[in-house]
Amino acid sequence: MCSPNRKSCSGNCFFSGDFLTGHQVKVAPGATLYPMASRAEKSERVFKTAWFSKAARKAHILDEELCSAIRQVVLGQTDDLGGGVFKKRLHKNQYRSIILTRAGHYWVFEYMFAKQDQANIEDDELADFRKLVKAYAGLTAQQVNLLIRDNHWMEICNGDQA
């Protein structure tokens, strides 16, 4: 039997409590559940920045795909760049997204680039993203609400989408 507290399983296993949908997520036999999956809670919120929203719209990437990507990130199916920065493939591997997290609170789709245009982010960009994670960690609930109100952040995956 599998549970969120176990790091691996054998046979047919399920991890219940997908924080975005509440549905059970089937885990392949022998798969490893990363610790992120066990810490995911329904209180976590998912946002995209105004810049990311515009870039995703141009690339024809819908919120449903972004929500699916976050579910995969929670299960550890991503590149963890450290310091709360994750890189996730989108749109049939044509694009890369940079996702920032304040663990236990929220995820932010911050940046996106086409694989054909850019192989990866530069070291100085990664350092800047890590600084931004620290800045986001200091935001109060009121400040997050102001970002939403002023359309700097858009909330997705809150039950209304995907």
Q: What is the largest CA-CA distance in the chain?
A: 49
Instruction: Using alpha carbons, select from 113, 124, 10, 137 the residue that is nearest to residue 61.
Output: 113
C-alpha span between 28 and 58 (Å, rounded): 34
Write the pLDDT tens digit of every residue in 33-91: 444 443 344 458 999 999 999 999 999 999 999 999 999 999 999 999 999 999 999 99
- Assigned token pair, 88: 């996730």
62: Cα separation from own chain's centroid: 14
- Judged against a pLDDT cut of 50, whether residue 101 lies above it is answered with yes
Give the span between the Cα atoms of 84 and 133, in whole angstroms. 6
**48 neighbors 108 (Cβ within 8 angstroms):** yes
Structure-token match 């952040």, residue found: 153
pLDDT at 69: 96
Which pair of structure tokens corresponds to residue 19?
């924080």
CA distances from 69 to 9, 137, 146 (A): 23, 22, 26
Torsion of CA 86, 41, 93, 129, to 10 degrees: -20
Residue 15 belongs to what H/E stretch? Answer: strand 13-15
Query: In the predicted model, is pLDDT for residue 145 greater than 60?
Result: yes
Using DSSP's 3-state secondary structure scheme, residue 16 falls into coil
